[in-house]
């Protein structure tokens, strides 16, 4: 089960990209009826939505202004380092988001030092 946190943010968590979904932000806004908040960091401007999976695992869907228009990136906390664990979590999240596996255009599969 996922829960959208709205404008809440789960504290100072360092999120790391784990998968790129070949769906625009608008897909998630329409299908999940959620709102993406605007922000910026050292990289660029972005729009993001923060969630909890099973009320304990935070994750973020984010789209940077400089990224391809029809993509949204899934971020998990940096504390998740084991590739098998990350892969399992990504599968659970995309299932909950009703995203087809074929819509994943990139997924972290190596370099646990990211």
- pLDDT at site 12: 81
112 belongs to a structural domain: no
**Average per-residue pLDDT for the chain:** 91
State how far the alpha carbon of 74 is from the alpha carbons of 23, 28, 49, 106, 107, in Å: 11, 12, 10, 10, 9
Residue 2, classed as helix, strand or coil, is strand
Say how many domains are in the chain. 1
113 belongs to a structural domain: no
114 belongs to a structural domain: no
- pLDDT digits over 13-58, tens only? 899 999 999 999 999 999 989 899 999 989 899 999 999 999 899 9
Return all residues near 52 (Cβ < 8 A) that are at least 6 apart.
2, 3, 5, 10, 58, 59
2 neighbors 52 (Cβ within 8 angstroms): yes
- pLDDT at site 112: 47
Query: 54: domain range?
Result: 2-107
- pLDDT digits over 54-80, tens only? 989 999 999 999 999 999 999 999 999
52 belongs to a structural domain: yes
């Amino acid at each position: 089960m996922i829960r959208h946190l709205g404008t809440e943010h789960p504290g100072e968590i360092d999120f790391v990209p784990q998968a790129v979904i070949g769906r625009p932000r608008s897909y998630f806004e329409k299908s999940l009826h959620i709102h993406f908040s605007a922000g910026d960091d050292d990289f660029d401007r972005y729009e993001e939505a923060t969630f909890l999976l099973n009320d304990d695992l935070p994750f973020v869907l984010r789209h940077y202004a400089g990224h391809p228009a029809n993509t949204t990136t899934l971020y998990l906390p940096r504390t998740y380092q084991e590739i098998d664990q990350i892969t399992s979590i990504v599968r659970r999240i995309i299932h909950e988001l009703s995203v087809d596996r074929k819509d994943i255009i990139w997924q972290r599969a190596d370099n646990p030092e990211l």
